Amino acid sequence: MAASAQDCTTQISLKRCLDQILKQTLKQTLAGLSRVLPGRKAVAVLVEPTIQPATLKILHRAANTFSGTGGIKFSVLSRQLSTTGLRALYLRYGALLVTGGYRDTVTLLPIRLLPVAAVDPLLDPMAMWGWHNVIEALSPCTPARLKESGTTFGVLIRGLMSVGLSKCYIFGTGPSLNKAADMDFKDGYRIICNTICKDRDLVRKLQPHILVAGDALYHFSDTKHAQAFLTDVELRMEECNFAFCYPAIFDAFVTNRLARFKDRLIPIPFGKRFDPIGCQLAKEIWMLGFDGRKSTDKLFWTNSTQHSYPEFVEEMRVEYPAFYNHFVPSDKPSAYFESVHGDALDQAMTIAEQNGWSFTLLSPSTSPALAKRRVAYRGIESAI
């Protein structure tokens, strides 16, 4: 009996081992197959037939806008697929974008081996990032591209530093940015953020060296807000000789849209922060347009209407409620502001100050971190 029991145990262990080997072999075979099957640059956007017409329209618009990026074609499939039909998608598509109930089907083999992202604007706070995650999976910002952009960035920084300026001005989009019209910033390097490029006169006055932007929904999407931003970026890049820095995940989209300026497009890998760009140029960092958030402000904070697109923000709020419900919830609308302008930023700035950098505001801020820094106007300091 003992021998029989031992034999049984051995057989069970052997069966488990074989099952694992078969599963691993299947995965490897399917992964290899995915690399040679046609349609690897095709992406299916799975939508249930019961989806709201307005949401379906948003998804079609996004699919049309992103198609062509990195050679990728997005197709919206608005139908109810069986389990067999879902599995068959593996043979036709290189990635999947899912909405509604389809968000719960991505564990099926073999489709779970594909890049998958949830992009339901009603349910997924990071829906717009999902489109870019799939683009990055199928048309990645390659090591060669990052090396090239790193070289470009290095040449840019060395060239600017050779001028020998002692200050770096960083401009945000808060209402205090309107003061810039009466100031002279020629004694420092100049970095502008986000939608400042809307103001042609200010950009021409500042002659910025660098533009930075980094949000999928606001800056790199199909929304009217992002499209207005990209149009103004293109116009300003025609008129001024600045570099555009942005997260590398958006590189395929940006280089597709702004191809003729590729030598001035600099993707930054995740893990790299934008603010230290200023710190690489000078020890004195001066900031304007970083007003913070007042208790009466709506959504994230108030921007200067001359340097942003408030007429398009409400449309984004209606189209992508999950994004706003997550980042600016009605019961604590200041949560995001406090997280990005709170202790972590304060600690980073304190460490920089201990190592010789200084941070000066040209207008007061309610930011927990920035409110601890000195405020000056034309070099005349004010007590905070």
Local confidence pLDDT in tens for the 384 residues of the chain: 444 555 555 555 665 665 565 455 544 544 444 444 445 799 999 999 999 999 999 999 999 999 999 999 999 999 999 999 999 999 999 999 999 999 998 888 898 899 999 999 999 999 999 999 999 999 999 999 999 999 999 999 999 999 999 999 999 999 999 999 889 999 999 999 999 999 999 999 999 999 999 999 999 999 999 999 999 999 999 999 999 999 999 999 999 999 999 999 999 987 544 447 888 999 999 999 998 877 777 878 777 788 889 999 999 999 999 999 999 888 887 777 776 777 788 888 999 999 999 999 999 988 888 889 999 865 444 433
Give the pLDDT confidence of 246-263 residue by residue, as tens digits: 999 999 999 999 999 999
Q: How far apart are CA 29 and CA 37, in angstroms?
A: 12
The pLDDT assigned to 381 comes to 42
The packing angle between helices 224-239 and 310-319, to 10°, is 140
Q: The tokens 């029989």 sit on which residue?
A: 4
Q: Which CATH number fits domain 143-382: 3.40.50, 2.40.160, 3.90.550, 3.90.1480?
A: 3.90.1480
Domain with CATH 3.90.1480 in the chain: 143-382
Please answer whether residues 80 and 48 qualify as being in contact, where contact means their C-beta atoms are separated by less than 8 angstroms. Answer: yes
CATH architecture of 37-138: 3-Layer(aba) Sandwich (3.40)
Assess contact for 286 and 169: CB atoms under 8 A.
yes
User: End-to-end distance of the chain based on CA atoms, in angstroms?
Assistant: 86
Cα angle 227, 228, 233 (rounded to 5 degrees) comes to 95
d(CA 305, CA 199): 10
State the alpha helices, DSSP H only, in the chain.
2-36, 53-66, 83-88, 127-138, 143-161, 200-206, 216-219, 224-239, 251-257, 275-281, 310-319, 321-327, 335-340, 343-354
pLDDT tens for 71-80 read: 999 999 999 9
| Ranges for all domains in the chain classified under CATH 3.40.50.2300 | 37-138
Say if residues 211 and 266 touch (Cβ distance below 8 Å). Answer: no
Which pLDDT value is given to residue 98?
97
The predicted pLDDT at position 9 comes to 54
